[in-house]
Amino acid sequence: MSDITKVALDAMGGDNAPVEVIKGAVDAVNLNKNIVVYLTGTKEAVDNELSKYSYPSDRIIPVYSTEIIETAEPPVMAIRKKKDSSIVRGLNLVKDGTTDAFVSAGSSGAVLVGGQLLIGRIKGVERPPLAPLIPTSKGVSLLVDCGANVDARPNHLVQFAQMGSVYMEYVLGIKNPKVGILNIGAEEDKGNALVKETFPLLKNTPGINFTGSVEARDVINGDTDVIVCEAFAGNVCLKMMEGVAKTLLKDVKGAMLSSLTGKIGAALVAPSLKKALKRYDASEYGGAPLLGLKGLVVKTHGNSKSREIMNSILQCVSFKEGRIADRIREQLEK
């Protein structure tokens, strides 16, 4: 295995593209000399932005494309028609083995559909889920699925548990990761029809460490490493966490700065507060991998700034080292 991790990056995707995306690429290659980034995007955008920085020019390789897939476009159609878009070009770089991974902050739908159509699923995988790491009091947990497969069936959730366990063990290094199912009560008889059907299946799945139900209020405690759920509930869980954290911290800051004594106090508490709350900053954890594909596809937030893009690129290194696709294949064949 080569020591170099090659990452295709969608220079045109996301609210802050191309500026923040390309800055993230430059920061990544300047930080880690074993990374090469293939930047897919229009010649104008890529050349303009790259000209602002100094970086090792052999480690950012422009791949010019002429089309852009917009967020609102129907994904299947967009992937089929816009063959020279930054997303299709980037996915094809993974498909043909040029790069190890593709990272995009662009249209979620196009990235999810394109990943399946162009790169393809690992044999046996039915529905590749989107699996972000979420911050907790103890570290991080993996939330699978948080947006790819609404109305999933019980056997899909079982595969999410298997793939999520592989991820936490081989990318994060957590031995025998604890797996829980998102539920509305702690007891086994609680839940909707999907959860009630899935619960006994998870109990009987070999090779995973199933520990039962996790209520949403306990997700942030970090007692469970892999939390499986249907994508609608997972998306609500993830976005609720982001929304509440953002608003509360804004209110904390606003309240402190609302008076002179508060301002003095804020200056005194700022260093320790900043350190403690950094863990809840989603941009520290990079993007969400789409688990179960033959190659690595990472979706980052549409509003990603350069720091999140950089972290998403760096994340590809441990994903490659963990040989996740191979291990998922092995796990599902058991």
Identify which range of 57-65, 96-104, 160-168, 226-234 contacts a copy of itself by CB under 8 A: 226-234
Q: How far apart, in whole angstroms, are the C-alpha atoms of residue 88 and residue 325? A: 21
- Give least dist CB 248 to a copy of itself, A: 5
- Give least dist CB 270 to a copy of itself, A: 8
Kindly tell me which residue out of 218, 223, 281, 284 binds a copy of itself, with binding defined by CB under 8 A: 218
Q: What is the DSSP string of 181-204?
A: EEESSSSTT-S-HHHHHHHHHHHT
Site for a copy of itself in 169-208 (CB under 8 A): 182, 184, 187, 191-193, 195
Instruction: For residue 255, state whether it binds a copy of itself (rule: CB under 8 A).
Output: yes
Site for a copy of itself in 89-148 (CB under 8 A): 137, 147
Instruction: For residue 57, state whether it binds a copy of itself (rule: CB under 8 A).
Output: no
Identify which range of 17-25, 44-52, 198-206, 273-281 contacts a copy of itself by CB under 8 A: 273-281
User: Element (H or E) spanning 31, and its range?
Assistant: helix 19-31
Name the β-bridge partners of 210: 179
Nearest alpha carbon to residue 166 among 329, 334, 324? 324
Compute, in degrees rounded to 10, the torsion defined by CA atoms 115, 117, 118, 122: 70
Instruction: For residue 244, state whether it binds a copy of itself (rule: CB under 8 A).
Output: yes
Tell me how many degrees the CA angle 295-45-102 measures, rounded to the nearest 5.
Answer: 5
Instruction: For residue 273, state whether it binds a copy of itself (rule: CB under 8 A).
Output: yes
Contact predicate 27/51, CB 8 Å? no
Of the pair 4, 184, the CB lying nearest a copy of itself is at 184
Of the pair 41, 164, the CB lying nearest a copy of itself is at 164
Q: How far apart, in whole angstroms, are the C-alpha atoms of residue 307 and residue 313? A: 10
Kindly tell me which residue out of 266, 281, 284, 329 binds a copy of itself, with binding defined by CB under 8 A: 266
Name the β-bridge partners of 41: 64
Edge to edge, what strands does the sheet with 178-183 contain?
Answer: 133-135, 140-144, 226-228, 178-183, 209-215
Instruction: For residue 251, state whether it binds a copy of itself (rule: CB under 8 A).
Output: yes
Kindly tell me which residue out of 63, 202, 256, 316 binds a copy of itself, with binding defined by CB under 8 A: 256
Contact predicate 65/84, CB 8 Å? yes
Kindly tell me which residue out of 21, 125, 179, 237 binds a copy of itself, with binding defined by CB under 8 A: 237
Applying CB under 8 A, the residues found at the interface with a copy of itself are 72, 137, 147, 150-151, 182, 184, 187, 191-193, 195, 215-221, 230-233, 235-249, 251-252, 254-256, 258-259, 261-262, 264-273, 275-277, 280
